Amino acid sequence: MDLLSSSAGRLATVALLLAVASLVLLLARRRDGVLRAPGRRERVTAAELGRALGATATLLQVSSPGCATCPQVARVLGAVAREHRGVAHVEIDATRYPDLVRRLGVLRTPSVLLLGPDGDVRARTSGSMDRAAATAALDLAVARG
């Protein structure tokens, strides 16, 4: 007898798929807001952003119009940037910078890239971010210089 032909088999299959999807989501959320080293060397210039980079660092936030989490992350990063001398917070709309977003490998919003004063990407994350995580990552990246 085919497993999917019975209602119990279909129910078991749906339950298994939901369990796997939940596990994948849980693992993905564990990485939210945790800045990690980039996979490859990238550089973002002030000319590409249309804004000056921070003298110490730049918190580059890639957002999108329909992103529910982006405004909260923007408030957090803006506050952190104001608390640190020489740090800029730059938010860009992914739909207006598609080539840059593609080059940087941004797959979801919000994504945050921590840039050094020369525009080198030092760390990156995506998803929600709280003030403590942003401050700690910024302090560590600036200390490593």
35-61 per-position pLDDT tens digit: 555 566 889 999 999 999 999 999 999
pLDDT of residue 103: 94
Q: 79-97, pLDDT tens digit by residue?
A: 999 999 999 999 999 999 9
Residue 29 in 3-state DSSP?
helix
Type of residue numbered 73: V
| Sequence spans of domains, the chain | 1-30, 46-144
- Retrieve residue 56's tokens: 């110490």
pLDDT of residue 82: 95
Please report which confidence band the pLDDT of residue 3 belongs to, taking 50, 70 and 90 as the band edges. low
Residue 144's H or E segment, with its range, is helix 131-144
Please give the CATH topology (third level) of the domain spanning 46-144.
Answer: Glutaredoxin (3.40.30)
pLDDT of residue 9: 74
pLDDT of residue 6: 75
Give the global pTM.
0.74
Are 134 and 81 in contact by the 8 Å Cβ rule? The answer is no
Residue 109: C-alpha distances to residues 124, 126, 132 (Å): 12, 7, 20
Could you give the CA distance from residue 44 to residue 66 in angstroms, rounded to a whole number? 24
pLDDT of residue 11: 77
pLDDT of residue 20: 74
Q: 20-39, pLDDT tens digit by residue?
A: 766 665 555 555 555 555 56
Please report which confidence band the pLDDT of residue 138 belongs to, taking 50, 70 and 90 as the band edges. confident
